[in-house]
Copies of this chain bind each other. A is one copy, B any other.
Amino acid sequence: MDFEKLLADRLNKMGASAIREILKVVSQPGMISLAGGIPSPESFPMEIMGKLTSAVLEKYSSNALQYDPTEGFTSLREVLVDYLKRKGIKSTANDILIATGSQGVLDSIGKVLISKGDRVAVEAPTYLGALQAFNSYEPEYVRMDTDDDGLIPQSLEKVLKLGGIKFIYLVPTFQNPTGRTITIERRKEIAVIIKKYNALLVEDDPYSALRYRGENIPPIKTHAPDNVVYVSTLSKVFAPGLRIGFCVAPDLIKKWLVIVKQGVDLHTSTFNQALAAEYLSEGYLERHLPKIIELYRPKQEAMLSALEKYFPEGFTWSKPEGGMFIWAKGPDGIDMEKVYWKSVEKKVAFVPGKYFFTARGEGIETMRLNFTMIDKKAIEKAIKILSEVIKGSRKN
């Protein structure tokens, strides 16, 4: 049967995913992967899961298995008010929408805001999953400049001055892919700018709880509450397989996010929301989070040391205070996709950085390195091999 002709036009832009193709080799046996973006299974609170499920079944009984309102499970929304308060965000349970992962929020945001051809402002580079969520609504992307301190506020203002931007998408803390964090000074500047232009900012914050050094920096939402949809997730501090994301959005936006989400999946798993409510309300998160941090901190240090020790001259890399990624940049002229193919031959994988840019030709000399999934020894080994591959490929 030939169904090609039945496919919707929007798929034209979603077709061949080069990154999906090149990453297929990552699962080959023996591969040391710095390519992933997923938490270590050691970070999951396995030892309390039995207790947690029993408590949920006892406390909520059949309500934990029943259909539930699209907005989210009441107990979870209530306890998230406190969680958000600790991040400096004022909310009521009613302001909060639970979604099927933060990916679910991003999809609904796309559906609510993007008509074909609408302009969305994104960092260069930016998070690939957000682009994937938005792409099916056929936006045009407007790129904004970044440096070691994240988004450059002047670049944001320049873009907003031109007009016609539906919303701005940022990952301000320990960004995926760069690991960079927008400084507090810049956050305040950004808040002033979006207020000045009545702009809407989608602030995606999956990583800020994973801080290994330094001081917490409040979300941009705290500086411009009416202009920001704050998006977060429990995937990095509880378990990604439960698919619990959430957002706090201005009233009108939140109202529409609920309506579109109803069409997408009716609501997020009640059982998993109840587990999350219990995890937060009974203090499990508070007790478990330090363990996650102590798990990742040495891995990150190991990667930073290995980069220092092995990486060739002419390379620079980010030195994030938390998160899951380090971003490295080689000298002009080096093509990290070529390095990638040589590197996977030596059984080390990473993600060539160009895939995180919306403009073609950018980021050819960059790479994203993840340190959460493998142990310190493997990290050192991988960086050493990678350095040798890079040195070798520069000779040719």
Name A residues whose Cβ lies closer than 8 Å to a Cβ of B. 1-4, 6-11, 14, 17, 38-39, 41-42, 44, 46, 49-50, 53-54, 57, 61-68, 99-101, 103-104, 107, 111-115, 118, 129, 132-133, 135-137, 166-167, 198, 200, 226-227, 235, 239-243, 250, 252-253, 256, 259-260, 262-272
Contact: B57 with A49, CB < 8 Å?
yes
Expressed in whole angstroms, the Cα–Cα distance for A42 and B65 within the complex equals 11
CB pairs A–B below 8 angstroms (25 shown)? A1-B200, A1-B226, A2-B198, A3-B200, A3-B250, A7-B252, A8-B113, A10-B115, A11-B259, A17-B259, A38-B66, A39-B66, A41-B66, A50-B54, A66-B241, A67-B241, A100-B268, A100-B269, A101-B266, A135-B263, A136-B260, A241-B270, A242-B271, A243-B265, A272-B272
**Chain B residue contacts of A115, Cβ below 8 A:** 8-10
Q: Which residues of B contact A129 (CB under 8 A)?
A: 263, 266
Report whether A271 and B113 are in contact in the complex, using a CB–CB cutoff of 8 Å: no
Pick the contact of A269: B54, B61, B112, B241 (CB < 8 A): B241
Q: Is the CB of B53 within 8 A of A41?
A: no
Contacts of A4 in B (CB 8 A): 252
Minimum-distance CB pairs A-B, first 10? A241-B270, A41-B62, A65-B239, A100-B265, A53-B53, A132-B263, A65-B241, A8-B115, A9-B115, A107-B264
**Cβ distance A117 to chain B, nearest Cβ, rounded Å:** 11
Whole-angstrom distance between the alpha carbons of A17 and B258 in the complex?
Answer: 13
Q: Are A65 and B38 in contact (CB under 8 A)?
A: no
Q: Which residue of B lies closest to A260 (CB)?
A: B136
Contact A227 B65 (CB under 8 A): no
Contact of A103 among B54, B113, B265 (CB under 8 A): B265
Tell me which residues across on chain B come within 8 A of A57, comparing CB atoms: 46, 49-50, 53
